[in-house]
């Protein structure tokens, strides 16, 4: 395990290049939830928009947000799967999350997400909550 500040450039590049990551949150009873997420990576921060359907449900009620409000500890993995298992790679991150609904950092996250994902440029993610994750530590495998 390495401090996030000790992430190698290769690890940073691997995280930045990933298109989908997987986020685990846990509720107050200790029940985990894992979901695929799109994300932007900047410094030691990751940002992910709550953009999912169903639109009928307030996004603040989404389970991952409820979990983060109950328990800020999260785990994220960015990985590469190939049938040639000598090519398997991952960066596994532990950190703490909070929910942004407005403000300077929320605006910055929207810019980063829309820069990385053209798909977001058509979506009103500036009106939606964003999960902000600060890295505490990370480890990697096969990121060479």
Name the H helices within 18-139. Answer: 63-70, 104-116
Contact between 100 and 59 under an 8 Å Cβ cutoff? The reply is no
Classify each residue of 46-79 as buried b or exposed e, where b means 16 or more C-beta atoms within 10 Å of its C-beta: bbbbbbeeeeeeebeebebbebbeebbebbbbbb
First to last CA, the chain: 16
Sign for the CA dihedral angle at 96, 98, 103, 106 comes to positive
Least separation, in Å, of the C-beta of 26 and its own copies?
A: 4
The least distance separating its own copies from the CB of residue 24, rounded to whole angstroms, comes to 4
Measured from the CB atom, the residue of 9 and 53 that comes closer to its own copies is: 53
Size of the site for its own copies (CB under 8 A): 32
| Residue among 7 and 37 whose Cβ is closer to its own copies | 37
Of 56 and 104, nearer to its own copies (C-beta) is 56
The residues in 70-109 that bind its own copies, with binding defined as CB under 8 A, are: 71, 73-77, 79, 81, 83, 85, 88, 90, 92, 94
55 is a site residue for its own copies (CB under 8 A): no
Where does this chain bind its own copies (CB under 8 A)?
19-20, 22-26, 28, 30-36, 53, 71, 73-77, 79, 81, 83, 85, 88, 90, 92, 94, 119, 141
């Amino acid at each position: 395990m390495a401090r996030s500040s000790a992430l190698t450039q290769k690890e940073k590049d691997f995280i930045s290049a990933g298109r989908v990551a997987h986020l685990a949150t846990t509720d107050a009873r200790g029940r985990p939830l894992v979901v695929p997420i799109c994300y932007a990576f900047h410094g030691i921060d990751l940002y992910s928009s709550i953009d999912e359907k169903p639109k009928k449900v307030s996004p603040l009620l989404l389970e991952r947000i409820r979990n983060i409000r109950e328990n800020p500890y999260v785990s994220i993995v960015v990985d590469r799967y190939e049938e040639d298992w000598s090519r398997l790679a991952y960066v596994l991150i532990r950190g703490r999350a909070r929910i942004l609904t407005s403000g300077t950092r929320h605006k910055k996250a929207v810019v980063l997400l829309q820069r990385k994902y053209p798909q977001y440029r058509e979506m009103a993610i500036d009106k939606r909550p964003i999960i902000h994750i600060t890295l505490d530590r990370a480890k990697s495998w096969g990121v060479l």
